[in-house]
Amino acid sequence: MTGPTTYRMPLGESLTSGPWSRLMLRALVIGAALVGMLGVRWTGAEPDAVLSLVVAALAVYASTRPDSPIGVIVVGIIVLNWFFVTDASALGWSVVPALCVLLVHAGLAALSVSPPQSALPGPFLVRWAMHAGVVGVATVVVWALALSLGGLDQPGHVLLTALGFVALVAVAVVLGQRAAVKDV
C-alpha cells in the first residue's frame, strides 16, 4: 500500500487519532452531513433513516480520507435528498442543507491541505473559518432574498436571486483579493 501512514491504518484508528484540530474538523464534517440529511424533518417530510446512516458512514470515511471522491458523493446525496424529499413550501428551511453542505465542503477542504497527522495551526483555521463565514453570509443573504421574492407573483425572481448571489460572490472575491494584497 502506498500513501501516508494514516491512510494505511484501520478506519476507526485514523478517525480517533491525530491532533484536536483534525478531530474537531472531522466531527464538524460528520455532524453537518447528518444534520443536512435529518434536517428534512423540519420541513414536515419524513427522513430516510437508512440513507442518513449511509451518508454518516460515508462522511466518516471522507473525514479520514478527505482527498477521496467520497466527499463529493456525500454532498451530492445531501442535495439530492433535500431536492426530492421536500417540496416548494420548504424554501424557508432550505438554508439548513445549504449551510450543511458548506460546512462539509469547507471541513473536507481544510482537512485535505496538509498531511493526515499534522496539526492545523490556529491562523489557518481562522482563515478557513472566515472564508466559510463569508460564503455562509452570502448564502443566508441569497436565501433571504429568495424568500422575500418568493412571495411575489412576478416572473424572474429566480434570475434576480441568481444575480444577487453572483454580485455577492464578486464582492467577496474583490475583498478577498484586497486582503491578500495587504498580506504581501
Mean pLDDT, to the nearest integer, of 151-177? Answer: 71
Rounded alpha-carbon distances, angstroms, from residue 110 to 20, 33, 37, 71, 121: 14, 16, 22, 12, 11
User: Of all residues in the chain, what percent carry a pLDDT higher than 70?
Assistant: 79
Q: How confident is the model at residue 10 (pLDDT cuts 50, 70, 90)?
A: low
Query: Position of cell 463565514?
Result: 133
Mean pLDDT, to the nearest integer, of 72-95? Answer: 86
Residue 8 confidence (pLDDT) = 53
Residue 77 confidence (pLDDT) = 94
Q: How confident is the model at residue 169 (pLDDT cuts 50, 70, 90)?
A: confident
Q: What angle do CA 132, 137, 139 make, to 5 degrees?
A: 90
Query: Across 66-75, 136-145, 168-177, which has the greatest mean pLDDT?
Result: 66-75
41-54 pLDDT per residue, tens = 888 788 888 999 99
DSSP per residue, 93-117? GTHHHHHHHHHHHHHHHHHHTS-TT
